[in-house]
């Protein structure tokens, strides 16, 4: 239940987004590993006291996301998609009017920043009844135009409704609007659907407010914050703009990016100062890097916590549940999953370590594989501190290698190796003196026989 508090953010996300040509709801498409709706919800949380999310029927995935990210948010179903004003009305009018400020956000506009929303709210505090965030568009096509008369915002004209003169206006509607809650139900009810689309446009609230003598203000912001994602190419553009912002933040925070344009962050990537990220590194969700970490080129990291001074890659893949302690080394063509690696331990070449604990300063030789899965269940491998696992070893889990133990190269280890012991589990080498020469002579004789 929404309580009587001061600012309610209403997030409109009921549209399927036909222009995406997708079976997935538009707002569930992701940038930086988080659905569009998630970006908007997170920003809304920073500037409001309550959130109401308007979804269409059959949007269970979006509802689950909203509940996970913001358990207090209320979800409202707009049964029929009859326009943005109609969508706001799916939140009960009585509820809307109880809030001092109602902030309307669109679920397909993910790049807006909290500071900009605060500026919009400030406009209401300084006397406006309604305020809209606008921007000067390089290409205004598709956006509603903000019609300003005598310094006052008089109307928003949707592109399809605009005449030639209005179409020439490049000051565009971002879709974000702040209204005094007490005026909202009256304005919404007065909005009609006498337009080409036959929809109830929230944007018509501006002209109605103007007619009623209420004050409407347009607050200008940067176009890069207001990109609306309607199709896949705008999705790619939003990703680009978001990544550009994250790369700049990373460098400002003391992280070296050798080729920033090739590093991709997730929405929640946490970086530590003095780290160096080489080209072509991809961060999936859930990554936390300590200080002075080196991530070499072409590494792919998700769901991993990485301690100070660790060195990763090139070509490393860290999957969810990876925990690297300080000064660990994970080298080329190594995959780790659900694995805790102790301080100073090394897994330097061509290994798979999954569902495992690796003790401090252990050395895992090239080509070591934890055989963690039998086709039905996953099993754990425990490798003690200071253990040395020879190259090309298969560790058939569940299995334990004791502290300081050695495993001979090429072993298939199926039983516990005791602390400090050496285990070798492979065919014993035999040697036959002079065998090669005898073979050559026999073959030479056979050849002569055949020629005769």
CA angle 141, 145, 151 (to 5 degrees): 150
Q: Which stretch binds ligand UD1 (CB under 6 A): 101-109, 272-280, 331-339, 346-354?
A: 101-109
Q: Give the Cα separation of 366 and 393 in Å (integer).
A: 8
Minimum CB separation of residue 378 from Ca ion in Å reads 44
Whether cis (ω within 30° of 0) applies to the bond prior to 201 is no
Phi-psi region of 412 (alpha: psi -120 to 50; beta: other; left: phi over 0): beta
Exposure letters 237-248 (e unless 16+ CB within 10 A, then b): bbbebbbebbbe
Max distance between CA atoms of the chain, in angstroms, equals: 116
Sequence-ordered list of residues with C-beta below 8 angstroms from that of 34, at least 6 positions apart, any chain: 42, 266, 267, 268, 285
Q: Which is nearer to ligand UD1, 27 or 364 (CB)?
A: 27
Q: Does the protein bind ligand UD1 through residue 144 (CB under 6 A)?
A: yes
Q: Which of residues 37-56 bind ligand UD1 (CB under 6 A)?
A: 54
Minimum CB separation of residue 243 from ligand UD1 in Å reads 21
Q: Does the protein bind Ca ion through residue 335 (CB under 5 A)?
A: no
What DSSP character marks residue 261?
G
Q: Does the protein bind Ca ion through residue 140 (CB under 5 A)?
A: no
Q: Give the Cα separation of 303 and 33 in Å (integer).
A: 12
Q: Give the Cα separation of 144 and 158 in Å (integer).
A: 4
Q: Which is nearer to Ca ion, 226 or 267 (CB)?
A: 226
Write the binding mask 86 to 115 for Ca ion: x where contact by CB under 5 A, - elsewhere: ----------------------x-------
- The residue number with the shortest CB distance to ligand UD1 is 144
Residues touching Ca ion, count (CB under 5 A): 3
For the chain, give percent helix, strand, coil, nearest 5.
25, 30, 45
Question: Among Ca ion, ligand UD1, none, what does residue 29 contact (CB within 5–8 Å per kind)?
Answer: none
Q: Which is nearer to ligand UD1, 106 or 283 (CB)?
A: 106
| Residue among 43, 48, 116, 173 that touches ligand UD1 (CB under 6 A) | 173
| Residue among 24, 82, 119, 182 that touches ligand UD1 (CB under 6 A) | 82
For residue 76, indicate whether it is catalytic: no
Strand 294-295, strand 276-277: pairing = parallel
| Residue among 99, 135, 143, 283 that touches ligand UD1 (CB under 6 A) | 143
Catalytic residue IDs: 349
Residues in contact with ligand UD1 by CB under 6 A are 12-15, 54, 78, 81-84, 86-87, 106-109, 143-144, 156, 158, 172-175, 201-203, 228, 230
């Amino acid at each position: 239940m929404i309580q009587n508090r001061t600012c309610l953010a209403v997030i409109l996300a009921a549209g399927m987004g036909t222009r995406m040509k997708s079976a997935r709801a538009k707002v569930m498409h992701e940038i930086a590993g988080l659905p569009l709706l998630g970006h908007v919800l997170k920003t809304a949380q920073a500037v409001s006291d309550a959130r109401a999310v308007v979804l269409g029927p059959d949007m269970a995935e979006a509802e689950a996301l909203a509940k996970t990210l913001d358990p207090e948010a209320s979800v409202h179903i707009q049964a029929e998609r009859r326009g943005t004003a109609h969508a706001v009305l799916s939140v009960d009018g009585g509820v809307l009017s109880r809030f001092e400020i109602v902030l309307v956000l669109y679920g397909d506009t993910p790049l807006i920043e909290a500071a900009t929303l605060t500026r919009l709210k400030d406009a209401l505090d300084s006397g406006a009844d309604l305020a809209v965030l606008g921007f000067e568009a390089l290409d205004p096509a598709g956006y509603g135009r903000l019609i300003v008369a005598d310094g006052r915002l008089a109307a928003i004209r949707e592109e399809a409704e605009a005449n030639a003169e209005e179409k020439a206006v490049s000051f565009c509607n971002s879709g974000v609007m702040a209204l005094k809650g007490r005026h909202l139900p009256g304005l919404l009810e007065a909005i009609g659907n006498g337009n080409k689309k036959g929809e109830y446009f929230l944007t018509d609230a501006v002209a109605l407010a103007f007619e009623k003598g209420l004050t409407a203000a347009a607050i200008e912001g940067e176009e890069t914050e207001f990109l609306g994602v309607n199709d896949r190419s705008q999705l790619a553009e939003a990703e680009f703009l978001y990544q550009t912002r994250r790369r700049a933040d990373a460098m400002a925070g003391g992280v070296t990016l050798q080729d920033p344009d090739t590093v991709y962050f997730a929405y929640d990537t946490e970086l530590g100062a003095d780290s160096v990220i080489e080209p072509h590194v991809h961060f999936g969700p859930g990554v936390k890097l300590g200080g002075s970490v080196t991530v070499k080129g072409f590494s792919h990291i998700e769901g991993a916590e990485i301690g100070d001074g660790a060195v990763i890659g090139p070509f490393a893949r860290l999957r969810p549940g990876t925990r690297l302690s300080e000064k660990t080394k994970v080298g080329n063509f190594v995959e780790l999953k659900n694995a805790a690696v102790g301080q100073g331990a090394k897994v330097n070449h061509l290994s798979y370590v999954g569902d495992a604990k690796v003790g401090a300063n252990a050395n895992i030789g090239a080509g070591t594989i934890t055989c963690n899965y039998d086709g039905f269940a996953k099993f754990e491998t425990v490798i003690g501190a200071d253990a040395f696992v020879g190259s090309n070893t298969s560790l058939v889990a569940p299995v334990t290698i004791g502290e300081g133990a050695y495993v001979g190269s090429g072993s298939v280890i199926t039983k516990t190796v005791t602390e400090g012991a050496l285990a070798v589990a492979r065919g014993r080498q035999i040697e036959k003196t002079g065998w090669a020469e005898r073979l050559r002579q026999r073959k030479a004789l056979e050849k002569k026989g055949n020629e005769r």
